[in-house]
Amino acid sequence: EVQLQASGGGLVQPGGSLRLSCAASGFPLSNYDLSWFRQAPGKGREWVSFINVYGGYTPYADFVKGRFIISRDSAKNMLYLEMYNLEPEDTAVYLCARYRHSYFAGAVASLEQYDLWGQGTQVTVSS
């Protein structure tokens, strides 16, 4: 079965850190560009970061402000998101997604550019 599965979320205090993982199965992650999105309660899905197949292009949403690092390990078929200095506003379900194009077509923040979504992992930032 072709799927993505995110993990690593949890409850953390403001200023804390978490490392999210996204495991791919049924297809080689190394062939695809990928993104992390998040969805807070009552809000729409919001793009967080993107990584190309080589790992050399990694744009971030403005709200990240240098606090997150996206990375991938193609040998392990894994995608990661390291999050530091977390804020209550970061509370959301975090999801990984597969970019649908085999070439770079831009619009990485647009939900329509993704053809496979993983089940999310809950991140709660609270004291």
**pLDDT score recorded for residue 74:** 86
| 58: its two tokens | 């990694």
Averages of pLDDT over each 10 residues, the chain, 127 residues: 96 98 94 97 96 95 96 94 98 97 88 95 97
pLDDT attached to residue 19? 98
CB 9 within 8 A of CB 122: yes
pLDDT at 77: 92
pLDDT for position 104: 85
- Please give, one letter per residue, the 3-state secondary structure of the chain: CCEEEEECCEEECCCCCEEEEEEEECCCHHHCCEEEEEECCCCCEEEEEEECCCCCCCCECHHHCCCEEEEEEHHHCEEEEEECCCCHHHCEEEEEEEECCCCCCCCCCCHHHEEEECECEEEEECC
